[in-house]
Structure 1
Amino acid sequence: MVKSQKFSTISIIIPTLNEASHLPLLFADLNSLRSNSDLIIVDGGSTDLTISIAQIHRVNVIESLEKNRGYQLSLGASKARRDWLLFLHADSRLDPGWEKSVLKIIMNKKSKDFAWYFDFKIKNNNLEFRVLELAVALRSFFLQKPYGDQGLLIHKDLYYHSGGFSCLKIMEDLDLITRVTKTNEVKRIRENLYTDDKKWAKSNIIKRAVKNSKLRKKWRQGYNNDRLSEEYYS
């Protein structure tokens, strides 16, 4: 078993907005390193029990002035006290023992020259989700473009050297990773990170993938970020 004190150099940052149904499960996955890690929730104005649940679990809660994930992530990073930053979405789940792989990375001095991501997984037996997982794996490896639902493990030095998260409501993950990969590589942690399948199950995967691709193209063309966010959530 990995001793939690080994993780005294990692801050875990989770942006939230009405995530009461997800947080207890994620906190359970993170429990193995809680005692000596820096766990930060940056809330964007939840109206459910998100903040209460975080407080019950004795998590550091920062209430954001904006409902803006990029701003929330940036704010969380600015409050982090550790050398390594781990950014996770609130609907994420991790396999038992995942912390061993992260420990191996952060204990290697050469690891700080890279950004690290988890393998994207969906807990749903439908074949279409396996195809989606494969597509994400290929994109992440060959195009060096992992997205936010794959998590991001990055040393503070590289994070700030790359400019950190911009205050974007959407595409904040792609924006940062694009800047990171101009000078550094991203690598696999070789552990799974499961995302809630509900947001994918609600719509046709192909249609959603095409829509997301069009939104990314608009973002690269400088389209207004607020409008992009409205289109994404419509």
Structure 2
Amino acid sequence: MTAATSYPKISVIIPTLDAARELPATLTALVPAAIDGLVKEVIIADGGSQDETMRIAQEAGARVVAGPRGRGAQLAQGAAAARGAWLLFLHADTVLETTWAEEARAFLGAPERAGVFTLAFDAKGFAPRVVAAGAMARTRLLAAPYGDQGLLIARALYEEIGGFRPLPLFEDLDIIERLIKTKGRRALHVFRAKAVTSAARYERDGYMRRVLKNAWCLALYRFGASPARIAEIYAR
């Protein structure tokens, strides 16, 4: 048995909905780890794409599972289909930095912890750097990372804390809250490797407007508003 194959294997789960433009780069970044044997499989959990997402996924050799639209439900469905001892949840518009696999491999000896990546945006300038820095401050001070940062977690721990719930919004915060409640704040690890995510939504809406909207929705969530109601506000 080689060193590459002696490690537990990772199943990568990517929820998609009309993600044909972003998905190729996300998948390409996983190829070296798949060749090395660290990544066992890539599962595309699709919520009804009408573009070329399915074709791209199939040509890349990914497994495809289809179900109702909704990121929480799609993530849960992908996890249920996964066969790896570890699960890596990744958004379709997020590209992992090349050093991610080295850090992840070293982390596989900590099955009682979960890891998220350092957020960065695929845009240059002051605004994206400030927003990313704010997100990382929130991650470290409040233990509140968003799904854009990915999530690497042992299957056993994922199942112990109840997995992803079929929420229309904040399914990422919900699972982290249960992780910390069960295992404590030290159970959340932040990788140095960057998760470079699309800045398209911020550039379309304006960075400040988007940040304020996200903060307002987060405040509503913290004060107990229903995720369905927050999703309506978020979609406006």
Moved over 6 A (4+): none
2:57 counterpart of 1:54: yes
Change (3 A) 1:48 1:82: same
Q: Which amino acid aligns with 1:142?
A: L
Cα shift readout 1:133-188 (whole Å, capped 9, x = no counterpart): 11111111121111100000011121111111110111110111111111322111
> Which residues of structure 2 form unaligned runs of 5+?
none
- Cα RMSD (Å) of the superposition? 1.8
- Residue equivalent to 2:121: 122
Counterpart CA distance in 1 for 2:4 and 2:31 is 9
TM-score normalized by structure 1?
Answer: 0.92
Q: Which amino acid aligns with 1:48?
A: D
TM-score normalized by structure 2?
Answer: 0.91
Are 2:168 and 2:231, in contact at CA under 8 Å, matched by a contact in 1? yes
- Residue equivalent to 1:42: 45
Counterpart CA distance in 1 for 2:235 and 2:3 is 41
Counterpart CA distance in 1 for 2:212 and 2:181 is 26
- Residue equivalent to 1:149: 148
Give the drift of 1:4. Answer: 5.6
Q: Which amino acid aligns with 1:13?
A: I
- Residue equivalent to 1:214: 216
Are 1:4 and 1:32, in contact at CA under 8 Å, matched by a contact in 2? no
Counterpart CA distance in 2 for 1:138 and 1:226 is 27
Counterpart CA distance in 2 for 1:161 and 1:202 is 39
Counterpart CA distance in 1 for 2:160 and 2:56 is 34
Cα shift readout 1:81-107 (whole Å, capped 9, x = no counterpart): 11111000000112223211111111x
Q: Percent identity, aligned pairs only?
A: 35
Are 1:5 and 1:33, in contact at CA under 8 Å, matched by a contact in 2? no
Give the SS at the match of 2:218: helix
Change (3 A) 1:3 1:54: farther
Q: Which amino acid aligns with 1:133?
A: A
What is the 5 A alignment of 1:33-182?
Answer: 33-35=33-35, 36=37, 37-64=40-67, 66-106=68-108, 108=109, 111-182=110-181
Equivalenced residues, count: 229
Counterpart CA distance in 2 for 1:4 and 1:195 is 28
Give the drift of 1:227. Answer: 3.1
